[in-house]
Amino acid sequence: MVDSKETRKIRFAKMHGAGNDYIYVNVMENPVADPVRAAIVWSDRHKGVGSDGLVLIDKSPIPEADFSMRIFNADGSEAMMCGNASRCIGKYLYERGLTWKTEIRLLTLSGIKTLLLHVADGTVERVTVDMLEPVFEDASQFAPARDIKKGVFVSMGNPHYVIFTENVDQVGETGRVMEHHPAFPQRCNIEFAQVMPSSEGEGGVIRTRVWERGSGITMACGTGACATAVAAALTGRAGRMSHIIMDGGTLDIEWRESDNHVYMTGPAAFVFDGEIVLPHQ
């Protein structure tokens, strides 16, 4: 007899934010007992759905937040936060009728993020996320070393190392090595950023490519865009508003002086819905 648990199908939505694609599961209706295994199997772009990872949407266990998220990279490692995924969650919750709110408090492993939905005719066109304050010193995530390539460390709830360069296409060769550099005890997301010419008053324009911890090269990274904008402002390469051009699209980042919070605005989109068999335990 076939074990029914082994053949249970899970409903999911494939979504992307500026090309950063994940599999989204509402675990309030479709529990996933082993998300690590599911993320590895389902994220495979040849044998699975294909994605940068798996995102679980759940009710919040605390009253201060409306919903919660957990995110697992394609290699099964759990991430603290993902800006692109949080925007997609806002669109999912509103357009699937799980909330009527246009301001949603989302609990993540790096704290509660506030999502502001920009809605037109019932469709969430863009989402602004309050990514809270950047952190520049964190001994648990960054231990400076002499042989490390010169860059700027910024934590946006997860660790980022931003390298300003004229060659952003070194992302594959250099990013793969630097993710595991001894300077990063918990591994690290690596950004390669090139400041582009821009007209006065339009804000900084920065071309950025990302090596994402646990996933490799991704089309975009929301926290990475935030880290890049903050690093550019810190080093005098841009002001407090930047347009971060990634492989999958552009994200608008404001490091607001009034509260020291970083605000990220960008698109979110459904790709398709489907069902997939729960991986064997």
Give the residue numbers annotated as catalytic, written as ranges.
82, 221
Q: In terms of DSSP bridges, do strands 269-277 and 262-266 run parallel, antiparallel, or are they unpaired?
A: unpaired
Distant-in-sequence contacts of 115-119, Cβ < 8 A, 24+ apart: 115/86, 115/87, 115/89, 115/90, 117/90, 117/91, 119/94
Amino acid, single-letter form, for residue 34 = D
Contact status, residue 246 vs residue 19, Cβ threshold 8 Å: yes
Which pair of tokens denotes residue 237?
């390469």
For the four alpha carbons of 235, 238, 239 and 242, in that order, the dihedral sign comes to: negative
124-135 burial code (b ≥16 CB/10 A, e <16): bebbbbbbbbbb
